Amino acid sequence: MHTKMSQVQISEVGPRDGLQSVKAIMPTAHKLAWVDALVAAGVSEVEVGSFVPARLLPQMADVADVVAHARRHAGLRVLALVPNLRGAQAAAQAGAHKVSVPVSASEAHSLANVRKTRAQMLEEVRSLAAWRAEHAPHMGLEVGMSTAFGCTLQGAVPEDEVIALAEQLVAAGVDEVGLSDTSGMANPAQVRRLFTRLRQALGERAGAAHLHNTRGLGLANCLAAYEAGVRTFDASQGGLGGCPYAPGASGNVVTEDLVFMFEAMGVSTGIDLPRLLAAREALRAGLPEEPLYGMVADAGLPKGFTDTKGATHG
């Protein structure tokens, strides 16, 4: 039995996963102000963007500038998504502390998303890890395994394949492998089972839970992952990048709701919830037309709510 730890790491992915999912382009100055507001709330890791060609994702054209600004915050871990070696080289040059590579558990999703088979992505990761070892040894390298809990294109994804791919990725040189519920198909029993298997297979190299609320199970799945020993969780402020009420939405877990759940349980996130709720204004200023979601933001903090730092709110 693992002993319950009283601390979790929340990685804010809104500036990447959220912004690349919406049509509007947030002006750079507003992105920087949003990152500043997140840091002021105590967020210690932010995925600030993707190093991909601007013609493919114009929302990410300014990613190097956002990395440079974010790096000014002492203690903030600056993360970027990279689909290939070229992206990793650009991220390293910009100064990202860590890069994340999207590798699909589903062959069909891999071909649709990055136009490569799983075997080809494994080879890409191998060459990226070799380059990192020689040229950017201090830069972290992780994989968030997409469609680990099911795929809209192929349906069920065999759990044995997920674990085997995770082991191959660690052998290829990545620091850690997390699991992503890309299509919002996961349920708590499945999440608990698969993360338990991942931790048995990879030990300390088992990484973050990136779970979606597409079908209303986001927080339940996060709790199941926590009970399986996961201590790092991705989430998006305001549910940016998808909501169960929007057509075709991906449904990211809302950062504010996730932080509230853990803090209410007595599990420290290191994040000041009132300041995190205030950071929504920086987000809203940069994307005034985009709907923001969150149960805690709508309901407010309960009377007498005390966070793990002992401060009483509400």
Active site positions, annotated: 243
Q: How far is CA 183 from the centre of its chain?
A: 14
Angle of helix 159-172 relative to helix 118-135, nearest 10 degrees, comes to: 30
Residue 31, token pair as written in the block: 């992105």
- 206 forms beta bridges with 177
Residue 259, token pair as written in the block: 């932080």
Going by C-alpha positions, the residue among 124, 166, 126 that lies closest to residue 146 is 166
What sign results for the dihedral spanned by CA atoms 32, 87, 243, 182?
negative
Q: Are 250 and 211 in contact (CB under 8 A)?
A: no
Q: Is 210 helix (H, G, I), strand (E, B) or coil?
A: strand
Q: Is 146 helix (H, G, I), strand (E, B) or coil?
A: strand
- 146 forms beta bridges with 104
